[in-house]
Amino acid sequence: MHPRKVSLFLLLTAFLMFACQWTDVAPVSTQASPTRPSATPTPNPFVYRNEEYGLSVTYPAGWKTEADEEALSWFISPDEKVMAVLYAFSLEADDTPETVAKDLFSGVSGELHEISILQDEAMQTPAGDAGWRTVFTARRNSDRLLLKVSITTVLHGANGFMFLVFGEPDAYEQYAREIQSLTTSLVFTEALTLDSIPRRESLVLLGSESTNPREYDPATTHGSGDKRVFSGLVSFDPHLNLVPDLAERWEVSEDGTVYTFYLRENARFHDGRPVTAQDVVYSWERAARPETESDTVLTYLGDIVGVQDVKEGKAEHIAGLEVIDDHTLRVTIDAPKPYFLLKLTYPTAFVVDRANVESGPDWYRHPNGTGPYKLVEWKRFERMVYERNEDFYLGPPAIRYIIVQLYSGVGIRLYETGEIDITSVYSYFVPRVTDPDDPLHADLITGVDLCTGYVVFDVSQPPFDDVNVRRAFTMAFDRQKYLDVALRGVGLPAKGLYPPGLPGYNPDLEGLPYDPARARELLAESKYGGPAGLPPIVFTNGGIGTDVDASVAALAEMWEQNLGVTITIENLEPDRYYDEIYAGNHGQLFQAGWCADYPDPENFADVLFHTGSPQNNGNYSNPELDALLEQARTERDVNARIALYQQAEQMIVNDAPVLFTVHYLSHVLVKPYVKGYVWTPIDIPIERYLWLEWDTP
């Protein structure tokens, strides 16, 4: 059940218990009740408006309204014998008017008895929004007072709105027509403000929030970082061209090992302090220090001479960094590598402010970044507000505010009602938005992600130390069935490492086929002799409690059916999942995936499968593969380099250190008034390239 619904049920139960007490008291017209705030007239008589939800309610003449911290508003009859309260709550993907109404009824009926249902049916507001009405009489458990109660639920986009009305039966009947008019008068229009922020100057998005502070630190995040707030020396534009960012330009030595960066003189932190070469050195050395515990610093900065020594605690400073002056930095890498600059687009290379970082453990909640937006508000589990950086060195963005609504509901529903402007589409809704006859289809943008999903076999743990076991598990896996059932057909079967669109992708790759009979033979040929000889196998996944993810359940079922192997599934808290994986606290199997940080096959093959790579969490080691990858690192002929990476991919497939599952597809809805949007398979600071063009109201 949705957590906001649970809270609502508790509220409703408490409300009914409390409300019953009001009916025992003679109505007071000249003195406010001591148990609730006094009623006050509204500026616009008989119309209640809520700009945040973009709704209005017309209430009967003579009725009063009252504000409430938990609800949107109270509506009170002239004699105070009938009370109505309007609540708002977010919906789940599969909610319908009937299911929501049933849930709400169950939430209020616990303290009642002798319940008699008078009406329980679908309804529709005059404005066309679907709803449900339940009317009943009941007595409270504690005092046998008879009440007549109605619950009218209206669904609009990602939100549900509920009118709860109650009174003694005679009073309720006296106001029956007015109650009917009140509870069907909801009208939704465009919200003009969001907590005083002008809606038409804002890009509103849907987001989630991690409870792990490491995910907000550029040095330790396992994701793409906050590119609104932080920036680095270089970046990608919407067409994935490498472009100057904090660095205005750079020079590369003839041997390809020395890079000289020239920082922009107008680059400033959000507090106005100039960005200097010393800030870059501080940021990179901080990321490398062992106490920072960065899982990514060796992957993205490890080519710089001396980073490894700092990471291992052998040196205080990175030998390959030399400050020439405040705006000039010389960087020496260990070999000529054509992808080195691409790595500097990753958050590990972003610049942070030392005073900010060292101000306390919650520094990330008030970051002093260098990016195009400033984080000006963060209400935990509610929203984050970014305001454009008027002094941004590349020019201030066109959009003044970015509002990220946290855990606000289902993206597609919020999008339909105009509450958010861009949303990814879950696989559940993909058939709908890809239908040319659906109204949302015109807003749809699709693309192939540079991502590959896979299951890691930890080769350091039995039974996956045996290649025949790994191949058996791989060949017992039906990719197409997995895709159709677990992912609702959204994606492409992955027989290898490189996703379509990545340089090096090989459509003629020979993958390990789905062949259950051969899989059983391989398992029998392994040193374990078949399923009976295998040790207990644990599959680690990110999840809550004992709930099993559908994709993991599908894998376990295939292995049980095709190999006779039973898998135990354990969940790790999602916010700590990657910390535990990198720490080695996982079973022999775990689900993973990789999306390109930069469009180069090195970012997949070398980063994930070279011996000792920090991202090689399955502990795979193949000296022949290592030699091939090391040769590809410095190969300057593009065609020869691609051939080496394709050879490496085939070697990985044959050795089966992972089970490749799917290449993901993206489906994104973008409002027509959002201009400049270009879908990219790599996360870039896209908002600074956007602008809004609203129709004249």
The residue with greater pLDDT, 451 or 197, is 451
pLDDT the model gives residue 38: 41
The residue with greater pLDDT, 155 or 129, is 155
Question: Which residues are paired to 126 by β-bridges?
Answer: none
Q: Listing from the earlier edge strand, what are the strands of the sheet with 202-207?
A: 202-207, 401-406, 383-388, 373-379
511-546 pLDDT, tens digit each: 999 999 999 999 999 999 999 999 999 999 998 887
CB 146 within 8 A of CB 137: yes
Q: How confident is the model at residue 141 (pLDDT cuts 50, 70, 90)?
A: low
pLDDT the model gives residue 40: 44
Virtual torsion, Cα 388, 286, 216, 223, nearest 10 deg = 100
Angle between helices 550-563 and 516-525 (to 10 degrees): 70
179-233 pLDDT, tens digit each: 999 998 988 876 666 777 888 899 999 998 888 999 999 999 999 999 999 999 9
pLDDT the model gives residue 45: 58
* Separation of alpha carbons 366 and 359, rounded Å: 10
Q: What is the rounded average pLDDT for all residues in the chain?
A: 90
To which residue do tokens 């644990």 refer?
538
pLDDT the model gives residue 475: 98
According to DSSP, the β-strands at 537-542 and 567-572 are: parallel
Distance between alpha carbon 94 and the CA centroid of its chain, in Å?
Answer: 19
Residue 160 predicted with pLDDT over 70: yes
The continuous run of DSSP H or E covering 454 comes out as strand 451-457
* Separation of alpha carbons 34 and 45, rounded Å: 25
CB 154 within 8 A of CB 133: no
The residue with greater pLDDT, 615 or 128, is 615
Kindly state the average pLDDT of the residues 553-563: 96
Find all residues with CB under 8 Å of 634, minimum gap 6, and list them.
335, 336, 337
Residue 329 predicted with pLDDT over 50: yes
pLDDT the model gives residue 36: 40
pLDDT the model gives residue 3: 37
When mean pLDDT is compared across 73-82, 225-234, 618-627, the lowest value belongs to 73-82
* Separation of alpha carbons 58 and 40, rounded Å: 16
Alpha helices in 610-691 (DSSP H): 623-634, 638-655
219-244 pLDDT, tens digit each: 999 999 999 999 999 999 999 999 99
* Separation of alpha carbons 280 and 246, rounded Å: 10
Q: How confident is the model at residue 409 (pLDDT cuts 50, 70, 90)?
A: confident
CB 116 within 8 A of CB 137: yes
Residue % of the chain over a pLDDT of 70 = 92
Residue 314 predicted with pLDDT over 90: yes
Residue 143 predicted with pLDDT over 70: no
* Separation of alpha carbons 606 and 594, rounded Å: 12
* Separation of alpha carbons 424 and 446, rounded Å: 10
CB 236 within 8 A of CB 339: no
Q: How confident is the model at residue 697 (pLDDT cuts 50, 70, 90)?
A: low
460-489 pLDDT, tens digit each: 999 999 999 999 999 999 999 999 988 889
Residue 11 predicted with pLDDT over 60: no
Q: How confident is the model at residue 16 (pLDDT cuts 50, 70, 90)?
A: low
Q: How many CB atoms lie within 10 A of CB 253?
A: 12
pLDDT the model gives residue 235: 98
Q: How confident is the model at residue 71 (pLDDT cuts 50, 70, 90)?
A: confident
* Separation of alpha carbons 568 and 646, rounded Å: 35
Kindly state the average pLDDT of the residues 495-520: 96
The pTM assigned to this predicted structure is 0.78
Which domains does the chain show, CATH number per domain? 3-189 (3.40.1000.10), 192-209+380-443+669-697 (3.40.190.10), 226-365 (3.90.76.10), 451-663 (3.10.105.10)
* Separation of alpha carbons 307 and 140, rounded Å: 70
Kindly state the average pLDDT of the residues 146-155: 92
The residue with greater pLDDT, 403 or 191, is 403
